[in-house]
Amino acid sequence: MQQTRDRLGGTGGQTRIADLRAQLNPSTADMKKPPKPRKAVKRESEEERALKAERMAQAQHTTSLLSGGNSKKPYQRPGERAERKSGGGLLFQLLLVMIIAGGVAFALDPTIIPPEWIDQARDIVGPYIKI
């Protein structure tokens, strides 16, 4: 029994098994590095903050009329799509409706147009188109 106790780490002057394990697997508490000291926060004065804000505002200011650009064009942000123009104004739409209405009226009753107008139109268009 004495031999077993000595082999397992008894008091016979031998190294204990726990000591051997501790040498092979050091604990995580021993391996941790000390924490890094925190950096000191740099405090800016009000004047420095105002100068910094002014520099940033000048760098971002692109809509100035003094830059020599075309002031007739509206400002367009980078990446913004230009708006598409519609098919025309109100005058174009009214003219289109009038032409369609006149064409339908002429198709229903060709006597609406006086014969003098038809003769005058043939005289104007006659040299260019063979009838």
Find the mean pLDDT for residues 66-86. Answer: 67
Domain that holds residue 107: 90-125
Q: Is 80 helix (H, G, I), strand (E, B) or coil?
A: coil
Q: How many domains does the chain have?
A: 1
Evaluate whether residue 33 is within a structural domain. Answer: no
Split at pLDDT 50, 70, 90, the class of 96 is very high
Residue 100, domain member (yes or no):
yes
The residue that leads in pLDDT, 5 or 104, is 104
Tell me the H-state helices in the chain. 2-7, 17-24, 28-31, 46-60, 90-108, 115-125
Is residue 37 assigned to a domain? no
Contact at 8 Å (CB) between 12 and 6? yes
Q: Is 30 inside any structural domain?
A: no
Please check whether residue 14 is in contact with residue 20, taking contact to mean a CB–CB distance below 8 angstroms: no
Average pLDDT over residues 9-33: 65
Alpha-carbon separation of residue 98 from 15, 49, 79, 81, 102 (angstroms) = 113, 65, 41, 35, 6
- CA dist 106 and 112 (Å) reads 7
Q: Measure the CA–CA gap between 93 and 102, rounded to whole angstroms.
A: 14
In a domain, 110, yes or no: yes
26: pLDDT strictly greater than 70: no
Specify the DSSP class assigned to residue 78: T
Residue-level pLDDT at 100 = 96
Quick one: pLDDT at residue 116? 93
pTM, two decimal places: 0.30
Residue 67 clears pLDDT 60, i.e. is over it: no
